[in-house]
Amino acid sequence: MKPTDSIRGLYAITPECSDTGRLLALTEAALNGGAAVVQYRNKLLPAARRQEQALALVRLCRTHARPLIVNDDIALAQNIDAAGVHIGKDDALLSEARAALGPDKIIGVSCYNRLELARSACAQGADYVAFGSMFPSVTKPEACAASLELLTHARRELKCPIVAIGGITAENAGSVAQAGAHAIAVISDLFDAPSVDQRARAYVRLFA
């Protein structure tokens, strides 16, 4: 059974880290703090290193009974038997991802600030949709802006879980949760925190 119920609360997206040991330590701290799902995202490393890191992460996540989602790379998700993949507008089609991964894997789709994209993705069988950037983002400073009102409309209309991403911090995350997000995706504010597990717990409490 695919763990779509896990798309609730803190959705941790890994930082681009070349040190696999450090990456695992940071991710384990986030998991210990209550992260419900982890996404492996690295645009910088060569393919062999990315597979090494992703395989180590999927093993770690399994020890915590949490899913690992791979960003953008269907082949990598297949190779390591990840829980699923997250795709954006410049990546593979949802139908291609589903055909490659099968019915039991999680497929998430970036919908930016467009509710019509989310409607289409849900109708095609996406397991969750993501909106953002909710706030100015260090990771993607050029990203389009999504509103809190969009989350509220989406929560009322859509049947699949809604993830909010982009510029989310411990200070503004409450407004995102109240607006209707089932989960909040965080990179910098989580993994740059002095105590990753304590910061994760702060996010998790918003959904208690």
CATH number of the structural domain spanning residue 110:
3.20.20.70
- Name the residue range of residue 71's domain: 4-205
Rg for the chain (alpha carbons), in Å? 15
**Residue in 110, 133, 137, 199 annotated catalytic:** 110
Active site residue 41: yes
pTM listed for this prediction: 0.95
**Residue in 6, 41, 137, 199 annotated catalytic:** 41
**Residue in 2, 8, 114, 140 annotated catalytic:** 140
Q: Please list the pLDDT of the chain residue by residue as tens digits (208 residues).
A: 465 678 999 999 999 999 999 999 999 999 999 999 999 999 999 999 999 999 999 999 999 999 999 999 999 999 999 999 999 987 779 999 999 999 999 999 999 999 999 999 999 999 999 999 999 877 777 778 999 999 999 999 999 999 999 999 999 999 999 999 999 999 999 999 999 999 999 999 999 8
Active site residue 195: no
The full DSSP string for 82-142 is: -SEEEE-TTS--HHHHHHHH-TTSEEEEEEET-HHHHHHHHHTT-SEEEE--SS--SS-TT
State how many domains the chain has. Answer: 1
